[in-house]
Each structure stands twice: as C-alpha cells, then as structure tokens.
Structure 1
Amino acid sequence: MPRTVKIAAPAILVLAALGTLLAGLAYGGGADAPLLLDPGAVTRYGLPISKLLVNLAAAGTVGALVLACFALNSAKPEYDRALDVAAASAAVWTVASGATGLYTFLSVFSLPFRFDSEFGEQLANFLTATELGQAWLTSTLVAAAVTALAFAVRNQTVLAFVAALALYGLLPPTLQGHRGGTADHDAASTSLYLHVVFAAVWLGGLLTLVIIRSTLDRGRLVTVLLRYSSLALLAFIVVAVSGYVSALIRVQTIDNLWTPYGVLVIAKVVALVALGLFGAMQRRWMIGRLQRTPGSDKPWFTALVLAELAFMGIASGVAAALARTATPVAEVTAEDLADPTPAEILTGRELPPPPDFVNYFTLFNVDLLWLLAAAFGIIFYVWGVLRLRARGDKWPIYRTVLWVVGMLVLFWATNGGVNLYSKFLFSSHMISHMTIGMIVPVFLVAGAPITLALRAIHKRDDGSRGIREWLMLLVHSRFFAVLANPIVAAALFTFSLWIFYYTPLFSFATTNHVGHELMVVHFLLVGYLFVSSLIGIDPAPSRLPYPIRLVVLLATMALHAFFGLAIMSGTGLLLANWYGAMGWDTGVSAIADQQAGGGIAWSVGEIPNLIIALVIVYQWSRSDKRETKRRDRQADRDGDAELKAYNEMLAERAKRG
C-alpha cells in the first residue's frame, strides 16, 4: 500500500468526521449561542471538536491494542507497527481529553480563558471536586498511561492488561453524556458504553489494518483481514443493538424522529447500514478475491477501505453532533418533580407494583450488558457444538441443555423481575445474588465451556493468539492454579459474602450502576471457580481427592448457613438509608424484608450445595469403578502379578515372625 494511502486514510477519516460534525451542529443547534452566559464561539465549537478527536483517538488506541492481542504475531514487524499506532493514538487521546476537560470547564461556568492563579484554582477544583471534571481528568491520565505503556510494553500478556486499561479510560466520559431520563439512567449508560467500546474496536481495527498493511505479505493480509472481519461483525451487532436501545430511550416515539435529534439519529442509522454493507462486501467478496488473486494492492481494495473509513468518519461526526443536540425527550431528574417520592429521590424511578410470583417472571428491567452476554453465550456455545458435529465428533446433548438453561437463568437474574425489584427490596437482591453466585454456576460448569472451546476452535500456528491460545495460557497459569484450588475458591466464595455485605462495598454496588455490574461479575466468577474446583469437567491444574472436596464443601455450607443466620437474626439494617427509606406501603418492614433475605441466603443457597455434594459422590463412585476396571484389566494381562507379589511379601514376613 503506497505511503500516500497511509496518510490519506486517517485524513479522510478525520475530515469526514469533522465535516459531518460541523453540519450536524449547524442543523441540530448544538453550537448555537445560548441566550444567557455565552462561553464564546471558541468554546462552543471547541468542545464538540475536541470530543470528536477523543473518540477517534481512543478508537485508534483500542482498535490497535485489540488487533495486537488477537490477530497479530508478536515476533513480526506487524505487531510493533500496531503498537506504534496505539501509542500515537493514545498521545492524541491524551491531548484531546485534556482540551475537552478545559472546554467543559469553560462551558459549564461560562468563563473566558485566562492566565492567572484564580482561573487555575477554579479549573483545579473543577477537575478534582466535581464528577464531570473527574471524568475528564481520569480519561486524560489513563490515556497518558496507555501512551507510555504502548511504547514500553511488548509482552503480549501484559499488553492485554494495557488494552483493559484503555477500555476503562472510555468509561468515565460515557457516563457523563446524554443518559436519558433518571429512570433510564442505568440502561442508557450501559448502552452508551457498549456502543463506544465496540465502535472503537471496529473503527480502530480498520485504521490499524491500513497502516500496518506494508508489513503483511500476501497470505498474511488475508489471514489478518479474516480475523478483523470476525471482530468487525461482532462489533457491528453490538453497535446496532446498543444504538437502537439508546435511540429508543432518547426518542421513544415516531413523531420525535422528525426533530433535529431524530433526523441526526436517522443519518447515523443510514451510515451504520452502509457500513454493514461494506462489511458484508468485505467478508463475501474482497477477502475471497484476495485469496484467489494475491499480489500487490489493487485499486478496488484501496478504494473500498477508504470508502469504509469515510463512512466511519461520517458516523463518528453524527455521533459527536448528537451528544451536543437537545433530545426530544426531556431528561427529568428527581429535582425536577414537584413532589418526588422517596423511591424517586433514591433511584430516579417510581416504586414497582408489589412483588409477587407473577411479577417476578413478567416484569423486566433490561441490562443490555448481560442480555448480550447471555445471547452470545448461547450462540457461540451452539456454534461450537455444531462445528464438532460437522467434523464427526460427539458432544453430550445434556451439556448443551445445561449450558443454555444456565444462560437463560443468568438472563432472568440480570434482566427479569428479580433485577427490577432488587433495587428496592433486600430480599429480591438476595434472590438475584444467590441465583447468580450459586445456581447459575452449577449449570455453566456442567456445560464444560472451556473443553468445548479448546476442541471447537482451530489451533493457530502463526504465533498469534486467538481465544483458544488465551484460554490455554490461562488454564496453565500459576494464577489460575491458585484460584482453581478448592480451598482457595471456597475461601473466596465464603469470605467475599461477609466482606461485601459488611463493608461500604454493599452501598457502592447498590447505589452505583458500575458497582452493580462489578458485583455481578465478581460473584458469577467466584461462584464458577468454586463449583468448577469441586465438580468441574474442564481442564484444571490439579484436583483434590474426592473426600477432601466433600470436606471443603461441608465447611463452606456451614459458613454459608452461618452467614444466612446472621442476617436472619440481625436487628439493624445493613443499608438503612436505602432499603429502609423506599417508602413501601405493603405492611412488611424493611428489617423483616432483610431477615427474609437472610432466610433466602440460608435456604435457597443450600440447594445448589446439596446438588454439588451429590455430584461429588457420583463422580467419586464412577472414579472407583474406573479404577477397579483398570486393575482388573491389568490383572488379566499379567496374571494378577501385583496380588501375588503382595501375598508373597506377607508369607515372607510370616516366616520371619
């Protein structure tokens, strides 16, 4: 690929994004001067432009890091070139984030830029003492750290943590944009973050591919392009779904589509559809043609890539303009209500109907993150099973059924009525917790997903790491060997309950959506490790003898029962300023509801433990039968030499006695 194309590709992306942004601001009024306290045209235009540069630079960083981790060979020049792209993009991200923080300060306080100590003190206070300022300060610091690490780190395992740090850097700013009304705050925040992350992988990956093209030989280009195409397909699905959810929250009705915000949404949808067509063309036509006629770059290849980047720039520009355009649905907070209820003050939404069995299974509070996780979990698992069967290998049907059931239960616990009520009732929260941490892992472990992945995913032989290689690295790591030990897993499983509920972590997970998501991830992983260490089918560094597994399980059951009894018998609310202040009028006090939650932790939590105990006994019995058969076959082969030697030893001892 000529050097001019390497320069033209980023230029086309930025120019298309910038032109679309200016047009969107002009149409939607995102940069119009307010009637009062105008911060000036420089700030009004500088803020959305700097945010656009943040989005593009962050995409370049994330896309390059993800491509390096999952598609490139760390021993070849392609890998170093991708890290150069990541470092350069992160440097631009750092400067653009710092500028955005400054423009945000000038916009919020309607101040002109000055070089004096008072201005510096005000800016420092904004960046350190306000949520909005802290978000951009965090983004700037993370981007700066990623810049340095992308230059210094070459180890692929460590680079995965750098990529995780970059993904974290995208979180604070996304929590500060259009988030919908207060009642839809959680759903809007989740959808926006998913949208930004997967759009970054999609856009940044393509940009990186263009820049590193000269380091890829004929066959290598097709291989890397196929891997990027798979990432792009996944990103397209998530971007489309999350974009739909975001638009539904902020537009809601068909009539609102004809407002300036709605028209910009339509423009973004058109750009997304065009990008989907480009992706289909890439998978079905371009890659096949490159395989049939490998060689130097063809004009059609360059034209297609540049056109795709141009439409990505258009979509990015429209997105940046949408962030500055007033939504047709007002974002109503509790302070805007004439007479807010306690529940609206605390949670931003009204109390749901009184809980009952029907409501738990007919009402929903959608969490897009876990909806997609459950959906992709089922799709990829079934795909793996079908791939095994296509090549003539068998996979037990009961494992597939158990995995699908586990994913459906996870979906219900994170999206169903229990998730809706868990924000208002401690007992519902405990049902959700016990389901996620104890019931779901039993089904998922029985599905043996790691074994399926290792058998279904093709092994790479080009020095790069795919999902299979990362799984192998994890399974054989010392870190996993420690966590997979039943004693360690049981300790994490048990003591994390006490630490979580009797420290400020409980308040953080209840009142903060990010804290809630981290809680779900933690208890799902800890529960999975615990169950897998006792009855897991997947490969593990070591397995304790069955009697010790039973002892560990019985000890865990006792400590878990003690935890439930402690909550049942407690007379003080664990979170009095939250669950004790909701304003329920059902005749059940908050302390009685909390004690009921303790009963749920004690009773419902022991059912999975009983199942695990029965499985351990069953596996123990099968192991003994296999050992007996092995010894019988050995005896048939050598005429029971082991028994004869043992009898001779006893006879010799008898003679000496």
Structure 2
Amino acid sequence: MLLAVGFVMLLVGLRIAGGADAQLLQDPGPVVRYGIPVTKMIVNLGAAGVLGALVLAVFALRSDKPEFNRALDVAAGSAALLTVASAATGFLTFMQLTVKSVRFDNSYGDLLGQFLTQVEIGQAWLITTLIAAAVTVLCFAVRNVTALVFVGVLAVVMLVPMAQQGHAAGTTGHDAAITALGLHLVFAAVWLGGLLVLVIISPQLDNDRMLSVISRYSTVALIAFIVVAASGYVSAELRIGSLDRLLTPYGLLVLIKVGALIALGIFGAAYRRSLIARLAESGRRYFFWKIAVVELAFMGIASGAAAALGRSAPPVDQTIPAVQTPAQILTGEQLPPELELSRYFTEWNFDLLWILLCGFGIVFYLAGVRRLHKRGDTWPIHRSVLWVAGMLLLFYVTNGGVNVYEKYLFSVHMLGHMTLSMMVPLLLVPAAPITLIMRAVAKRQDGTRGGREWVLLAVHSKIGSFLANPIVAALLFAGSLWLFYYSPLFRWATVDHIGHEWMIAHFLVTGYLLVQALIGVDPVPYRFPYPFRLLLLLAVMAFHAFFGLAMMTGNGLLLADWYGAMGRPWGPTAIEDQQTGGGIAWSVGEIPTVILAIAVAIQWSKQDKKETTRRDRTADRTNEAELGEYNAMLERLNSRR
C-alpha cells in the first residue's frame, strides 16, 4: 500500500511540476530523469524503516520478546535497502551531471571516482551509502538496548549529507533550510517508520502489549507531527516565499503534501482519543488496522509528493547572484544594519532547532509540575520560574540579535558564548529538571525504558559520573576556552552551520556541568565540600580572567579571512572588535561567576544552619548525652593526671 500509493503520487507529482521532463540540452534520458526521484523515495522509505524500528526498539519494546528482534530485522533490511538505493542515486546523479553512457573502461571509472571523492554531491551520496552499510551490519549484530541508541545516532548522522543538499549554498536562508530539512527528514522517518514497524510486529503482540506500544508510539508521533509541520512550513516559506506562488505547479505539490499532513494529524488524534480506548475495552484490532492502512496510504501520498518536490524547481530563484558583497560570499546573507543597542531586540534570525527545543523544554517541564500538583505533591514555584526564564534566555540568544550579529562581530559572538555557558545554566540548574523527571514520570514496570529510565541511566552511567565530577567539569569549562578558539574547531563552528549548532550545545553543556557541580540541586555521584567548591570556582575565575586578558591584549586576529574580510563599512576594526570581545569575556563573564560564588556561600550557610539545628535537636532528644559523654571523658583524663 505504502509503496504503491507513493509511486503513483510520485509520477503524478513529476507530471504536475515537470520534474522529469526532458531537458533541451544534454538530456540524460528517461532512465535517469525518472530513476533519481524513484531511488530518492526509496532512500527516504529505507531511512524511515531504520529510524522507526530503532526508536520503537529502545523506547517501547521489550528486549526479551520476539517483537524486539523482528523490529531490528526490519531496521537491518531497511538499512540494506537504503544502502542500495543511495548508491543507485549517487550513480544516477553522476550520469545526470556527466551525460555519459555507461562504459567499462579505466577512464569512466576514474571519472566516477573523481565525482564520488571530489564533487560535493558525490561525496554526500558516498558518505550516505557507507554509513548505511555500517548501520545494516550493526542492526544485524547489536541486540543490546543501550548500544542501539548509538546505532540510532549513527543513522541520524547518515541523513546529514542529504539535509545539506536541500538548498543552494550562498543563497539566502541556506542555514535555515539545512535545519528545516534535517529535522523534517529525521522526524518524518521516525513517524512513518514507527507506524510501518508497528504494523509488521503487531501479530506478535498480545492485547496488553499492543495497547502499551500504541500508546508510546502515539506520543512519539505527536512530537514528530509538530516537528514535521514546523519544519515543513519553514521549507515551504523559503522555497515559495508568498501565497500567490501556491498556485504554481510547485505550490500545488506543497498543498497536496500539506493536505496529507493534516489528514495524518487527524489520524494521530484518533489514535489518542478513540483507538487506544477501544483497544483497551474490547481487545479487537479491526479499528487499528482500518486506521493504519488509511494512514499508510496518506503517508505514501506525502512521501511521493516529497520526492517529486525534490526534483522540481521552486518558484523562488535559488541561483547565486553574479555580483556579491564580501559578507554575502562568506555568510550567504546580506550584511545587517549597523549594530546599535536597539538592534539586539529588533533584529531576529530564527533557528528552528532551538525554537523547538526551548518550546518542548518549557511544555514538558510545566507538564511535569502540573502532574505533581494533580496528585497532591508540591514543587517550588521559583524552580518553574527559573526554568522558564532560562529557556526564554536560551531562545533569545539562539534566535535574537546575538544570533544575527555574531557572524560579523567577534564581540557579539563572545557575548553569546558567555550567556550560553554561564547565564543560561545559572537559571536552568537550580530548576532541578532531573529531580522533576524522577518525581513526575512514572517508573515502567514491564522491562522497557522510557524517558525516566533513559535519563537516569545517562546520569548514573560511568560517562555521566565522569563528566559530573567537579574537577572534570571545571577542566572542560576552562580548557575548552583555549582549545576551541585556538584550534580548527572555531573555524568549523563559524563557517559551517552544523558546527555552529555543535558550538551552542557545547557551550551550554559545559556551563551546565560546572554550575551543577557548584550549586546543583539534582543528585550527582559526588559533590565537593563547600570550601573546595569556592576554591574550584576561584580557580575557574582566574583562568577565565586570564583568557579574557589574553584576548584584550592580543594583536593576532583570529579567523582573519572571516572577521577581517567581512567588508563592514560600520563598527570597529576586526582587531578592535576582537579585543572588545576579550573585555566581554573578562568583565561580563565574571558577573555570573560572582553570582555563583554568592550562591555557594548562601548554600554553605544554609547547610551549617541545618547541621546546627540537627545537633540541637539531637541534644534535646538525648538530654545532652553527647555533651555529658564529653565532660565525663575530660573528668577521666583529669583523674588520671
């Protein structure tokens, strides 16, 4: 059903938008013109089978039951199909670009080798094929639930080269397009693949297990629906631009895909509202099969439309301008207006990944607090306020004026660095999210691992314990300053969008670990006594100040071919701006450190007060027995003298 409907929709979509029409010059032939969208659709379906099966295996299925092995067999078979399809897509793309007939000689092999190793799109399909082959082997060999998480991460990495092909580099919105397409690929695959695997393994599930797996899948599907809808909107906005362009052939395909998405959302609501209840009451699966078949048909429509869109020219011009400014050449965007204080709040550069993370973070946290209140438990209001404030600050730094100007001014980049690594964790850590998860999320009793189990496993693992060590956290925080800025990592994080996303996560995590080690509320394997915490903080402050001073007094420009070649007609020179960034690291960065020192001192005082109160209560309860024993010991010593 899925393949049939998807294939028919693909042919209809290619016909509507002309994605497989013969080219006037150097036409590669119908095999290539139709073969590329067909193989790409198979690639997408293969990725769906892999990710859907792995998500269900690690989140919903028991490792000691037959359905677990069946799901991993589906993952392995899907990965094998993806390997073949991605290799075929790469070869057909080579034929499209070279317009050469297949030959079995050295020159043709050399040309193909150059395409796969030196041309960007060829490298992308080669990497996808190799990773898919590795995932195929791992899905056959690995049966440990924890290890399967890393296999899933590798499967997500497999889709990164595909996401980077989604928008012309150097054109407006390139970074946003990569993020949107990447999120769309991953979550659509989880959504579609999860349903497909659920249908395949359902005969091996009894009614109780079927009910629990469907309930867990519906939660995953709801999250996937939100992400797919948001990322699809961003992609359509970048490629269509205005409502009147929805009447173009490309826009018509977008409308078909939107209609399929809305229908799938309605089916998802049916899962949560009626299917689960009916299955629990009667145990009959007729309604599940009815909805599943229709839902797979609509997923086939969406998959076919997506493959056709990938071969169709959008109405928005995506060609690179012949004449570009230095800023356009380097960043793909126009140089923003001169930076003033008001620009920090009026200029925006939205990053869908962090919008979704902040949104989900606030919603899930408040949902946990609401669950505690419903059962009569309390949760300090200041923790909720701190968490929401921290998430809103994270949203601003990753989407507001800081994110606009950090590409062009090192000082703004350093301001974002200090906020991410020090201010945001200072708000998030006292909110105690791990404690909330432990209290609000029910423990599973059927041997599977849900969100609570995975979080606790990560916290109590050897890696988690190592990273939570106060000395390790301090070394990561302070050492990464020098390692990041004086290594190729800084260039990667500045030039490449994926590197930029990694940089944000790195600053956030290292700062969170340090603040958690100093004033954290959540349980950790080991904490320093309060005097040592202050000493550790003073050492970090000194190291941080030394780094800022080195930046302020240094005369060597970091990334001179980036910050020094931006062509800004306004603002300070690149070296002056870098020195200003050093001043920000030294001065602004020390403010959260002072707050941390005050917080440690306050916690120390409270701890001493608690200890004194405990001793007083013990003395009252035992009628000063401890003091009496001490006085008796002094009397014995005196009598011996």
How far is 1:130 from its partner? 1.8
Per-residue CA deviations over 1:465-516 (Å, capped at 9, x if unaligned) read 0010011111211211111111110000000110000011101100100000
Per-residue CA deviations over 1:610-639 (Å, capped at 9, x if unaligned) read 111111111111111111111112112222
Report the counterpart of residue 341 of structure 1 in structure 2. Answer: 325
* 1:370-381 map, 5 Å: 370-381=354-365
Distance 1:301 1:477 in 2: 39
Retained in 2: the 8 A contact 1:180–1:249? no
Letter in 2 for 1:500: F
Report the counterpart of residue 5 of structure 1 in structure 2. Answer: none
How far is 1:35 from its partner? 1.0
Report the counterpart of residue 201 of structure 1 in structure 2. Answer: 190
Counterpart check, 1:330 vs 2:317 = yes
Distance 2:433 2:120 in 1: 40
Distance 1:654 1:117 in 2: 102
Secondary structure, aligned partner of 1:154: coil
* 1:381-396 map, 5 Å: 381-396=365-380
How far is 1:179 from its partner? 5.1
Counterpart check, 1:146 vs 2:146 = no
Per-residue CA deviations over 1:511-544 (Å, capped at 9, x if unaligned) read 1000000111111111111100110001111111
Distance 1:656 1:510 in 2: 77
Distance 1:427 1:647 in 2: 65
Secondary structure, aligned partner of 2:589: helix
Distance 2:31 2:513 in 1: 54
Distance 2:625 2:64 in 1: 54
Report the counterpart of residue 56 of structure 2 in structure 1. Answer: 67
Report the counterpart of residue 612 of structure 2 in structure 1. Answer: 628
* 1:34-53 map, 5 Å: 34-53=23-42
Stretch of structure 1 that moved more, 222-231 or 471-480? 471-480
Secondary structure, aligned partner of 1:586: coil
Retained in 1: the 8 A contact 2:339–2:571? no
Retained in 2: the 8 A contact 1:14–1:313? yes
Q: Which consecutive residues of structure 2, in runs of 5 or more, have no partner in the other structure?
A: none
Report the counterpart of residue 255 of structure 2 in structure 1. Answer: 266
Retained in 1: the 8 A contact 2:470–2:514? yes
The 3 A distance-change label for structure 1 pair 178 and 25 is: farther
How far is 1:109 from its partner? 1.6
Letter in 2 for 1:151: F
Report the counterpart of residue 230 of structure 2 in structure 1. Answer: 241
Q: TM-score, normalised by structure 1?
A: 0.96
Distance 2:366 2:103 in 1: 61
* 1:3-14 map, 5 Å: 12-14=1-3
Counterpart check, 1:507 vs 2:496 = no
Report the counterpart of residue 310 of structure 1 in structure 2. Answer: 297
Retained in 1: the 8 A contact 2:168–2:319? no
How far is 1:32 from its partner? 1.0
Q: TM-score, normalised by structure 2?
A: 0.98
Report the counterpart of residue 281 of structure 2 in structure 1. Answer: 292
Report the counterpart of residue 482 of structure 2 in structure 1. Answer: 498
How far is 1:125 from its partner? 1.4
Letter in 1 for 2:129: T
Distance 1:618 1:79 in 2: 51
Distance 2:626 2:460 in 1: 35
Report the counterpart of residue 525 of structure 1 in structure 2. Answer: 509
Letter in 2 for 1:375: G
Report the counterpart of residue 6 of structure 1 in structure 2. Answer: none
Distance 1:410 1:474 in 2: 23
Retained in 1: the 8 A contact 2:115–2:122? yes
Counterpart check, 1:607 vs 2:591 = yes
Counterpart check, 1:94 vs 2:79 = no
Report the counterpart of residue 184 of structure 1 in structure 2. Answer: 173
Per-residue CA deviations over 1:182-218 (Å, capped at 9, x if unaligned) read 1200001100100111100100000010111112111
How far is 1:303 from its partner? 2.0
Letter in 2 for 1:337: A
Distance 1:587 1:478 in 2: 48
Retained in 2: the 8 A contact 1:179–1:188? no
Retained in 2: the 8 A contact 1:101–1:133? yes
Of 536, 553, 556, which residue of structure 2 is paired with 1:552? 536
Letter in 1 for 2:235: S
Report the counterpart of residue 15 of structure 1 in structure 2. Answer: 4
Distance 1:93 1:361 in 2: 45
Secondary structure, aligned partner of 2:368: helix
Report the counterpart of residue 109 of structure 1 in structure 2. Answer: 98
Retained in 2: the 8 A contact 1:181–1:331? no
Secondary structure, aligned partner of 1:182: coil
Secondary structure, aligned partner of 1:357: coil
Stretch of structure 1 that moved more, 412-421 or 72-81? 72-81
Distance 1:370 1:507 in 2: 22
Distance 1:207 1:185 in 2: 32
Stretch of structure 1 that moved more, 587-596 or 509-518? 587-596
Distance 2:174 2:100 in 1: 29
How far is 1:341 from its partner? 1.2
Secondary structure, aligned partner of 2:173: helix
Secondary structure, aligned partner of 1:212: helix
* Root mean square deviation of aligned Cα: 1.2
Distance 1:627 1:179 in 2: 64
Distance 2:177 2:170 in 1: 9
Retained in 2: the 8 A contact 1:251–1:257? yes
Report the counterpart of residue 117 of structure 2 in structure 1. Answer: 128
Stretch of structure 1 that moved more, 473-482 or 383-392? 473-482
How far is 1:44 from its partner? 1.0
Report the counterpart of residue 7 of structure 1 in structure 2. Answer: none
How far is 1:642 from its partner? 2.2
Retained in 1: the 8 A contact 2:6–2:300? yes
Per-residue CA deviations over 1:140-186 (Å, capped at 9, x if unaligned) read 11111111111111111111100111011011111112458712000
Secondary structure, aligned partner of 1:183: coil
Counterpart check, 1:254 vs 2:239 = no
Report the counterpart of residue 281 of structure 1 in structure 2. Answer: 270
Letter in 2 for 1:49: V
Retained in 2: the 8 A contact 1:567–1:597? yes
Report the counterpart of residue 8 of structure 1 in structure 2. Answer: none
Identity of aligned residues (%): 60
Distance 1:548 1:451 in 2: 25
Retained in 2: the 8 A contact 1:180–1:250? no
Counterpart check, 1:397 vs 2:381 = yes
Distance 1:510 1:367 in 2: 15
Retained in 2: the 8 A contact 1:60–1:207? yes
Distance 1:140 1:220 in 2: 35
Report the counterpart of residue 321 of structure 1 in structure 2. Answer: 308
